[in-house]
Amino acid sequence: MPTIVNVHDAKTHFSRLLERAHAGEEIILAKSGKPYAKLVPLDTHKERTPGIAKGRVTDAFFEPLPPEELEAWEQ
């Protein structure tokens, strides 16, 4: 279960909270007693495998979108 810490206490003990998060603990930062943000460790040890996606990018990928598609994105 994550630890809940108010912003005032988090400012006072930020270095300690960073160490705890780095060690794997999940810390919820609260503002006026309500959950506001989450302090979690970064997943820096994740292995990446290049080339796992199937298919290829063709020249059509770089073609401009049709006007109706552009309009849908701009709405």
pLDDT tens track for 61-74: 899 989 999 889 88
The structure's pTM equals 0.55
Q: How far apart are CA 13 and CA 54, in angstroms?
A: 47
- Tell me the pLDDT of the chain averaged across its residues: 89
Q: Which residue range is the domain that position 17 belongs to?
A: 3-39
The count of structural domains within the chain is: 1
pLDDT of residue 47: 77
Is 20 inside any structural domain?
Answer: yes
Q: Residue 10 falls within a domain, yes or no?
A: yes
Domain membership of residue 24 (yes or no) is yes
| Element spanning 8, H or E | helix 7-12
Residue 44 is predicted with a pLDDT of: 67
Top-ranked range on mean pLDDT: pick from 17-21, 45-49, 70-74: 17-21
